[in-house]
Amino acid sequence: MGMTNQPKLRQRKKLKTRQDLAEAAYALFGKRGFDNVTVAEIAQAADVSRRTFFRYFPSKESVVFPHRMDLIARFRRLIDERDKKENPLRRCRYATLIIAKEYMGDRDRILRQHHIVKSSTGLIAYEYKLDLILEESIAEALTPSRKAKAAQRRRARLIAGVVIGVIRAALREWFAKDARTNLVRLAEKAFDLLDSGLE
């Protein structure tokens, strides 16, 4: 009846449960490492059953990257919003720099996440799977039209793969300095180096 239009109790409960699970997981992973924590323990810490954990997250890995799919979608939209006539590398650079700036603003969360990822090779592989999705997404954004020529598709894929390489290099460098340097500048430098033919 009120005009606040608050979400129903059920919705709020679900959101809280999801958050509780993610927080419990992050606390445990951070303390003992991803591999040394069981889903049962996460569920217990969040006060739900093990079965319920899997209703909120499709796998133990997925709880580590709760927003990655949103990020990938935004990256794609950022490329899309640039002039399609522009140099594709320029378009990717634009999107990368914006996301890089956001990463710097979200430093603490990203750093916690990275600390957890480093603790497990399985998790590293999982993040690679997510990188592949991003790569496909970039390639699609760079493909001029739905019925693009094969050569154009190939070029878009090559560029997407190379851009992923650049992004990963910049991030690695950032993390190597404890995320205390300027990620935007690192990304710019990496793209500059690429523009000059890696000389």
Partner DNA sequence: TGCCTATTGACACCTAGTGCCAACGGGCTA
Partner DNA sequence: TAGCCCGTTGGCACTAGGTGTCAATAGGCA
Where does this chain bind DNA (CB under 7 A)? 8-11, 13-14, 17, 37-40, 47-52, 54-55, 58-61
Compute the least distance from the CB of residue 2 to DNA, in Å. 12
- DSSP of 8-76, one letter per residue? PHHHHHHHHHHHHHHHHHHHHHHHH-GGG--HHHHHHHTTS-HHHHHHH-SSTGGGG-TTHHHHHHHHH
89 binds a copy of itself (CB under 8 A): yes
Cβ-contact 99, 167 below 8 angstroms:
no
Task: Kindly give, in sequence order, each residue whose CB lies less than 8 Å from that of residue 170, ignoring residues fewer than 6 positions away.
Answer: 96, 100, 183, 186, 187, 189, 190
Choose the contact partner of 45 out of DNA, a copy of itself, none; CB within 5 to 8 A by kind. Answer: none
Q: Which helix (H) or strand (E) holds 98?
A: helix 88-105
Question: Residue 172 interacts with a copy of itself (CB under 8 A)?
Answer: yes
Residue from 66, 173, 179, 188 that binds a copy of itself (CB under 8 A)? Answer: 173
- Binder of a copy of itself out of 162, 175, 182, 188 (CB under 8 A): 162
Options 22-30, 47-55, 102-110, 124-132: segment touching a copy of itself (CB under 8 A): 124-132
Residue indicated by tokens 């992923």: 164
* Interface with a copy of itself (CB under 8 A): 87-89, 121, 124-126, 128-129, 131-132, 154-155, 157-159, 161-166, 168-169, 172-173, 190, 193-199
